[in-house]
């Protein structure tokens, strides 16, 4: 009973207070020292009746794909008679919005995203290409106002805690320019989280990490042909994108289980040093993205039984396709 009261006390206050009934228990006097560990970045484990401090809380992991509206996923992941987003959100807890890169979404579109997803589902949105590619991060007063209006479109997601971050994807032609990057990040509205994905190797420099850290913008860790898969933690958000290593294009690629296994230590490193970690698979051809995403979750030990059954369905469909056989099975069959 005393241990139960102690546990409640520590979890509620962050330390053992003098008013608790367990104060007179000598075995628990050590709890007073927990006052110096009230930071939410630490947690407490109870083992054999002891209260112990650990290192930082591991980040919440969000795994999903870059986009969900792919006709080729009908069969391996989707049934015909249901909406794609609703089916997608029944399997994954995050998705990356690619369409915002090409066109600003309407208010109705944003509200529709909340309608077909459950609370706790997280969206990441690409910043429109006008700012990253056409203007190459060079903002004047008019374009800055336009950018502010763009990000504000996503406020309905933000107010419901469904907006993970904005992805700033730079073109391969844009070479390192420290002042340009700093000016752009300084101008961004600060109530959102941002992730920067570089496509030119010149950005792989200590100066880049310092600038990102200064403005709490996350470095987008990538697996692709252009940049090395280095881990750099520059904010409380971790963001990993798997593009693949296909030739034309990169993302027509199916990762092997061995390749995914090799990523597990890196994922855990990111998780241990951030508050939220997103893992996004962009290799959408043939249903490879949902397959590889679910495989990674399985290896990490975070896949639910329903997700594992969905993974089996996707894999069977892919194998039949590779063998030249017609598709078979429905989502309900593997549910």
pLDDT digits (tens, 9 = 90+) for 286-298: 999 999 999 999 9
Q: In terms of pLDDT, which residue wins out, 1 or 291?
A: 291
Q: Is residue 50 located within the same domain as residue 171?
A: no
Q: What is the CATH number of the domain that holds 190?
A: 3.20.20.410
Among candidate residues 56, 71, 91, the one where a domain is terminated: 56
Q: Residue 335 falls within a domain, yes or no?
A: no
Say what the pLDDT of residue 59 is: 86
Q: Residue 328 falls within a domain, yes or no?
A: no
Q: Is residue 51 located within the same domain as residue 65?
A: no
pLDDT digits (tens, 9 = 90+) for 253-286: 999 999 999 999 999 999 999 999 999 999 999 9
Q: Is residue 33 located within the same domain as residue 162?
A: no
pLDDT digits (tens, 9 = 90+) for 230-247: 999 999 999 999 999 988
Q: Is residue 22 located within the same domain as residue 140?
A: no
Q: Residue 199 falls within a domain, yes or no?
A: yes
Range of the domain at 159: 60-322
pLDDT digits (tens, 9 = 90+) for 157-207: 999 999 999 999 999 999 999 999 999 999 999 999 999 999 999 999 999
Q: Is residue 76 located within the same domain as residue 51?
A: no
Q: Strand ranges (DSSP E) for the chain?
A: 42-47, 50-56, 60-66, 94-97, 122-126, 163-169, 194-197, 218-223, 237-242, 276-281
Q: Is residue 44 located within the same domain as residue 188?
A: no
Does the pTM surpass 0.85? The reply is no
Q: Residue 30 falls within a domain, yes or no?
A: yes
Strand pairing category for 50-56 and 42-47: antiparallel
Most trustworthy range by pLDDT among 13-27, 36-50, 125-139: 125-139
Q: Is residue 182 located within the same domain as residue 278?
A: yes
Q: Is residue 162 located within the same domain as residue 212?
A: yes
Please state, in angstroms and as integers, the Cα–Cα distance from residue 186 to each residue in 51, 179, 211, 212, following that order.
Answer: 43, 10, 10, 10
Q: Is residue 181 located within the same domain as residue 317?
A: yes
Residue 42 pLDDT > 50 = no
Q: Is residue 98 located within the same domain as residue 191?
A: yes
**Per-residue confidence band for 81, with pLDDT thresholds at 50, 70 and 90:** confident
Q: Is residue 100 located within the same domain as residue 6?
A: no
Q: Residue 52 falls within a domain, yes or no?
A: yes
Q: Is residue 22 located within the same domain as residue 96?
A: no
Q: Residue 287 falls within a domain, yes or no?
A: yes
Determine the Cα–Cα distance for residues 147 and 333; give it in Å rounded to an integer. Answer: 46
Counted domains in the chain: 2
């Amino acid at each position: 009973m005393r241990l139960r009261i102690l546990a409640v006390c520590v979890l509620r206050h962050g330390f053992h207070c003098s008013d608790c009934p367990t104060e007179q228990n000598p075995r628990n006097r050590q709890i007073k020292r927990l006052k110096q560990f009230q930071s939410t970045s630490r947690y407490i484990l109870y083992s054999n009746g002891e209260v112990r401090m650990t290192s930082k809380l591991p980040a919440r992991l969000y795994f999903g794909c870059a986009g969900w509206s792919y006709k080729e996923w009908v069969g391996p992941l989707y049934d015909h008679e249901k909406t794609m987003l609703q089916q997608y959100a029944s399997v994954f807890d995050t998705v990356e919005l690619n369409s915002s890169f090409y066109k600003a979404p309407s208010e109705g579109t944003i509200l529709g995203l909340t309608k077909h997803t459950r609370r706790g589902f997280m969206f990441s949105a690409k910043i429109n290409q006008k700012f990253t590619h056409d203007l190459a991060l060079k903002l004047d007063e008019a374009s800055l106002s336009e950018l502010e209006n763009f990000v504000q479109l996503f406020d309905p997601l933000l107010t419901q805690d469904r907006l993970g971050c904005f992805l700033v994807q730079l073109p391969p032609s844009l070479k390192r320019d420290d002042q340009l990057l700093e000016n752009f990040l300084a101008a961004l509205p600060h109530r959102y989280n941002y992730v920067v994905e570089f496509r030119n190797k010149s950005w792989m420099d200590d100066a880049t990490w310092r600038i990102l850290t200064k403005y709490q913008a996350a470095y987008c860790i990538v697996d692709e042909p252009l940049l090395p898969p280095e881990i750099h933690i520059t904010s409380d958000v971790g963001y990993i994108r798997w593009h693949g290593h296909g030739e034309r294009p990169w993302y027509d690629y199916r990762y092997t289980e061995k390749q995914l296994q090799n990523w597990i230590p890196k994922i855990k490193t990111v998780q241990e040093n951030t508050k939220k970690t997103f893992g996004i698979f962009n290799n959408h051809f043939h249903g490879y993205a949902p397959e590889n995403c679910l495989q990674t979750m399985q290896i990490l030990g975070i896949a639910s039984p329903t997700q594992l059954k969905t993974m089996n369905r996707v894999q069977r469909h892919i194998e039949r396709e590779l063998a030249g056989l017609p598709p078979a099975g429905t989502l309900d069959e593997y549910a």
